[in-house]
A and B are shown apart, each in its own frame.
Chain A
């Protein structure tokens, strides 16, 4: 079936005066097609910022450019990074999860208590971390979709409830002393690489695969892009939203597990305020805060930007007050760079 030759071909841009305008839009414009960068799911600006930071810090501090320091950076970034993966899935669908840090704390506490006080075998402790996270995520998702509570508020409520529950369960006191295999998860160095780093990268690979290649990931992005269109095209929007919150909750559970493994104790104050850092990392990586565009590799780079910056400023013994200013400024700069480029590409 083709259109009759007499009619004007579809795709000619509309013009108010009824005349067809042969603009250059119909000619091949390279910037409209995704470059190989975006196919690789990497945002060029994020990489540039990261590269500049690495270069500048290498110059300023002689301790920066070393394998052990890079491993330190990855280790310091691991927990927040896993949390940021969770944030990415949720933000892709135009949601938000403010409870990430608290769920991290609660999951870690439940896992630690089950090993330390209830005396369960350590694999149960690990599973309980993840299950606690997933359960909190499920509650968040149901509050949002069934009870119609805006995600901001539902997860804000969970932030308080989860944190409070963690404090209640532990009476405010960290639960010290877990099983050796669990400690190995946090402090071991197979092949010289800290285990949390391996987990951080492995979980990242899986998360990236899901978000970029599967229908699950595609639907998350489309829901954030145009929810009513997704619904009209048959996407089960509410169901999908709930699964996304379960994913972010599970990520918080994994992060909670990494945390207790690192410090060999279930700390009820673990993850305090981490959600903001995780969300910052996600945005730095190119995720659109209002949904529709997100990649995990981008988030990984965003987390690394923050980790590198923090590490470098620590090496330079910069006061933590200035460090906070620096992190805030980098966020603004990175997003501004992105806006500039986006506008340039549009013209």
Chain B
């Protein structure tokens, strides 16, 4: 049984069919590159996996559990995390609050049933995660909106890794980065693979995909048009699949 099994998933918005029967799977610890042109359905597929959308047909199973119709919070709890292209951070909140967003630990107030957010625990654990990542964020009390782009991405990554995910989806993580930063992200992906965490890497940059992925899945107009191990394909072949020339 694969870690993530996507079987014939369909999704439409009004008359637009975004996903017309997508099927592929991800094994534990595997790094899968997901490529495709704009409008191919990558973003819709990811939102369907994470629970923002519900599929109209088909099934998504994670660790054997049916994901269809579950809320995003439930799906995160099962071990799927996503790092969004726009980072999905609350920029007026501090780093610690962002890392624990949606999963804040609480404690009782003076023994009453009233629960407040456990600020101390959040700050301590967020600090631990930031140090672990080696991120240059001087304090988890800083407001995210005032950090640099790279620092913000570290926060988004820290948030995705804090609750021991089994699968991390990264949506265009290198798109706006400088060369050294890109290499850093690729190294992070390799590190996660070493820890047996599966990755789905969505990217336009085929060099990055070919640098770290085990397998590459190409989407075109809502269906999978190619699903090959990296060794068995080439950049030209992939491009041909993306544009429909294959």
Contact = CB atoms under 8 A, between A and B. Distances in A.
A and B touch in the complex (CB under 8 A): yes
B211 interface: no
Given A226-B91, A233-B88, A1 B195 contact: yes
B99 to A, nearest CB: 10
Given A3-B187, A4-B187, A8-B181, A32 B103 contact: no
Interface in A207-228: 209, 213-215, 218, 221-222, 225-226, 228
Interface string A227-256: 011111111100000000000000000000
Nearest to B90: A225
Interface string A258-273: 0000000000000000
B111 interface: no
Contacts of A17: 178
Nearest to A209: B116
B234 interface: no
A192 interface: no
Contacts of B135: 9-11
A182 B133 CA distance: 60
Contacts, number: 163
Interface string A190-215: 00000000000000000001000111
Nearest to B191: A1
Interface of A: 1-4, 7-20, 23, 25-29, 32-34, 209, 213-215, 218, 221-222, 225-226, 228-236, 288, 292-293, 346
Interface of B: 50, 52, 71-74, 76-77, 82, 84, 88-94, 97, 101-104, 106, 114-117, 132-139, 141-143, 146-151, 153-154, 157, 176-181, 183-184, 187-188, 191, 195
16 contacts: A2-B134, A8-B181, A10-B181, A14-B177, A25-B151, A28-B138, A32-B147, A34-B143, A213-B116, A218-B93, A218-B117, A222-B93, A222-B101, A228-B88, A229-B84, A233-B88
